[in-house]
Amino acid sequence: MIDLKLYLGEAVLATMFGVFIGPHMTNIIDPRSWANGSPTVVNSITLEVMRIALAIGLFAIGVELPKAYLAVHWKSLAIVVIPTMAFGWIVSAGFIFWLFPGLTYISSLCISACLTPTDPILAVAITSGTFAVKHVPVNIRHLIAAESAANDGLAYPFLSISIYLATKASTHDQTGYWFLAVCLYEVVFGTLLGACLGIGFSRLMGFAKRKGLIDRESYVVQYIALAFLTIGIAILLNSDDLLAAFAAGMYIL
């Protein structure tokens, strides 16, 4: 009821609740005390938990988008995502380089690549809920949701090329490797992997329903299981798990 009255998204309320139960207020939960306080283990746990949470959020966005949205609106999505991300990456790096003169511009590009993506969880505040339904056209809501989900996975090529430029002497060879390993394998293959898993899941669930092997109430649980399966396979294959999860949700028929 609070989010409906105040037009607050779940992300804002969840952040407030997390701060309240965290070590700086009530100290109900203190993640820094896990694993005997080992910073390395705590950071690893935090990374994996946040990766799973983000991937499930991207999967949910893919499910909520209209069917075949990517096939129909790929041009507008590509225009919004790729040039905008590239421009924001370069401009943000310029500001970082100006604010921190001790950094090189290549190092600033590494930091900027982490700041460039828009957060799909925070974007929910303007893509769903009472306020969004009243004031944001449905096509804009779909475009913002798809853009915020896609650019999380597409940020990795910007980060990787920055790291290669900062650490490798032979930039020509590393650029070729970056294109093959990152752009083609991790991004393109990760997207295709997620799409194939989503389509295969849909057909398997349809077969199980026709044979009376599963009821409708079990679908939600199976969706979550598919999200975990997609993330796990993508990580094992060293592919982009975020894009894979988004594509799997989008291509559920």
How far apart (Å, rounded) are the C-alpha atoms in residues 102 and 150? 33
Which tens digit of pLDDT belongs to each residue from 221-239? 888 889 999 999 999 998 8
Q: Which residue type is seen at 18? A: G
Nearest to 194 by CA among 55, 50, 88, 65: 55
Q: What is the CA radius of gyration of the chain?
A: 20
Nearest to 247 by CA among 28, 52, 68: 68
Average pLDDT, the chain: 81
Name which of 69-73, 82-86, 166-170 the model is least confident about: 166-170
How far apart (Å, rounded) are the C-alpha atoms in residues 204 and 60? 19
Domain ranges of the chain: 2-29+38-250
Q: How many other CB atoms sit within 10 Å of the CB of residue 179? A: 13
C-alpha torsion sign, points 142, 232, 111, 178: negative
How far apart (Å, rounded) are the C-alpha atoms in residues 200 and 63? 15
Alpha helices in the chain (DSSP H): 2-6, 10-21, 39-64, 69-99, 105-115, 120-127, 130-135, 138-167, 171-177, 190-210, 219-236, 241-250
Nearest to 57 by CA among 183, 142, 152, 129: 152
Q: What was the pLDDT predicted at 121?
A: 67
Torsion of CA 4, 58, 11, 88, to 10 degrees: -110
- pLDDT confidence of 197, banded at 50, 70, 90? very high
Cα atoms in the Cβ-side hemisphere of radius 13 Å centred on 140: 7
Which tens digit of pLDDT belongs to each residue from 103-130? 888 889 889 988 888 766 667 767 776 7
Which tens digit of pLDDT belongs to each residue from 160-196? 888 877 776 555 566 677 777 777 888 888 889 998 9
How far apart (Å, rounded) are the C-alpha atoms in residues 163 and 155? 13
3-state secondary structure (DSSP) of residue 5: helix
